[in-house]
Amino acid sequence: MFRKHYNFVLIILLSALLGSCTVFTEDLTEARKLAVEKKYQEALAILDGFKSGNSKKYNSKLRVEYAVEILKDLNQSKSERHQLAKTLLEEAVRLDPKNTRARTFYLALLKTTTIEEELVN
């Protein structure tokens, strides 16, 4: 008799516990859509609110794409482009240390900036 009640109470407690737990899935579709439209700042604003590993990897990848686009934009001064790209790439490496593209671009940007500074001085 006690065994039946124990199982029943255990089932109720487990169902209450599992019912109170909700699984949060981060929907990246809006951010991906904005990225395709090259609206990087809006996409990054959405992604900055997400915390999962998958969203951090995508955030890092998108920051690299945005940094490359900034470096290609000749309407800004070179120093502004380099500074903004450097900031984006630093954050990309921080978000996903395994992102080799982010590390490569970041190190290349640091190297070219250092060489240019040495030539000016």
pLDDT digits (tens, 9 = 90+) for 52-63: 888 899 999 999
The whole-number pLDDT of residue 11 equals: 72
The Cα–Cα gap between 18 and 97 comes to 34
Task: Write out pLDDT tens, residues 59-80.
Answer: 999 999 999 999 999 998 988 9
Strands (E), 22-104: none
The confidence band for 24, taking pLDDT boundaries of 50, 70 and 90, is very low
Task: Report the CATH number that the domain containing residue 100 is assigned in CATH.
Answer: 1.25.40
- 32 alpha carbon, distance to own chain's centre: 12
Q: Where in the sequence is the domain holding 33, given as residue range(s)?
A: 26-120
The answer to the question of residue 7 being in a domain is: no
The answer to the question of residue 14 being in a domain is: no
**Average of pLDDT values for 93-112?**
93
The answer to the question of residue 43 being in a domain is: yes
Tell me the CB-side half-sphere exposure of residue 66, using CA atoms within 13 A: 27
* Residues 84, 43, 93, 71, Cα dihedral to 10°: -30
